[in-house]
Amino acid sequence: DASLVEYFSAGDRLVAAVITRDEIQILPVTVLSRVAHFLQLLRFQLSKFRMGNEYVRRFEEPLLRATHSHLEALYGELIAPLRPFFQGKHLIVVPHGPLHFLPFHALRNGEEYLCDSFTVSYAPSATVFCWCQEKPASASASSLVFGIADERAPQILQESQSVAALLPHSSLHVGDHATAAVLRQKGPQSGLLHLATHGVYRQDNPMFSGIRLGDGYLNLYDLYQMRLDAKLVTLSGCATGMNFVAAGDELLGLQRGLFCAGATTLLLSLWDVHDQSTSQLMQLFYREFLGTANMAGALQHAMQELRQQNPHPYFWAPFVLVGKLSDSARLT
């Protein structure tokens, strides 16, 4: 049982459709400009982590309090008016406009985050969500893992090695060996694809957004011409889930390119991620996922575990699951 929430705007008013097994409710939510203001404040708090570890350690408590305040305000604006109409234990969120950059799963109600009450996944639209559900999941048991480390993220190598050790029938390629040619050759035969690398989001020209490989960058144009049949594609680098929201709420970014290439579920980041915590989260996620085949449940479990060590949402909440819900069969 699940509920799908799709937001849309009418002028400055934000409205939501809440769809459950039993009914469809069209409900007024709030004023879009208020949400945009709180979202800007939240993104400002997250941006402070670029100031370095010493700054973060010194102001750890004020950073957490300010972030909690903004997440609680956004919960009150976006979730509280709709919460009585939710059914089931899973929530599918279809954002609109600036909401595409918001971690709904980290919205906070008192001492509880939304991801404590529901497993949460996302979709760029209800139509794309339905398409993902109807597309058969890959039957391939093989996995392809890329790791391209640099001075900003040296733990990518350890992450890719750990993930490759966990995944079934994995093929690991790191550094200069993680090339576009290997991705084109082995990608179509891989059921699971994990790319531990940086993403580049080009707001000035979203079509040139890309992911760094060992021999250059793979951009949106390249993805349009590539064929992938993976049941899950994970991009565990910086801002791999960022999109440009064009007219008609059309998304231009890596998310769109990967869906066009044939992937059915994506695990992407909304902001520049922390190297060490991302490595830990990925290992926690895959261990749970391989045992249950429940992607949303595995991500919920990984976030809750990591939150015990790193309570600030910057560390545990950057990743979003987009697309198809879990398959019922266990992975071996």
pLDDT of residue 250: 41
CA distance 117 to 87: 11
Tell me the CA end-to-end span of the chain in Å, nearest whole number.
26
What's the pLDDT band for 326 if we cut at 50, 70, 90?
A: low
CA distance 306 to 287: 14
Percent of the chain with pLDDT over 70: 91
Residue found under tokens 């001075």: 151
Sign of the torsion formed by the C-alpha atoms of 167, 173, 178 and 179: negative
Residue 331 has pLDDT above 90, yes or no: no
Domain with CATH 3.30.420 in the chain: 2-122
Q: Tell me the mean pLDDT in the region 2-11.
A: 93
DSSP calls for 124-190: S-HHHHHHHHHSPPP----EEEEE--BTTBTTHHHHHHHHHHHSTTEEEEEGGG--HHHHHHHGGG-
What CATH topology corresponds to 2-122?
Nucleotidyltransferase; domain 5 (3.30.420)
As a dihedral over the C-alpha atoms of residue 138, residue 267, residue 130, residue 81, rounded to 10 degrees, the angle is: 160
pLDDT digits 0-9 by tens, 52-69: 889 999 999 999 999 999
Sign of the torsion formed by the C-alpha atoms of 106, 109, 113 and 114: negative
Four-way CATH pick for 136-323: 3.40.50.1970, 3.40.605.10, 3.40.50.1460, 3.30.365.10: 3.40.50.1460
pLDDT of residue 239: 57
pLDDT digits 0-9 by tens, 185-230: 999 999 999 999 887 766 676 667 778 899 888 887 888 888 988 8
**In terms of C-beta density within 10 A (0-12 exposed, 13-18 middle, 19 or more buried), how is residue 227 classed?**
exposed
Residue 129 has pLDDT above 60, yes or no: yes
pLDDT digits 0-9 by tens, 244-279: 444 443 445 678 888 888 889 999 988 888 888 999
pLDDT digits 0-9 by tens, 278-320: 999 999 999 999 999 899 999 999 999 999 999 999 999 999 9
**More confident of the two residues 315 and 101:** 315
Domain with CATH 3.40.50.1460 in the chain: 136-323
- Whole-number average pLDDT of the chain: 88
CA distance 254 to 200: 9
- Among 3-12, 25-34, 245-254, 319-328, whose mean pLDDT is lowest? 245-254
CA distance 174 to 211: 14
Residue 173 has pLDDT above 60, yes or no: yes
Q: Tokens standing for 282?
A: 């990925």
Residue 330 has pLDDT above 70, yes or no: no
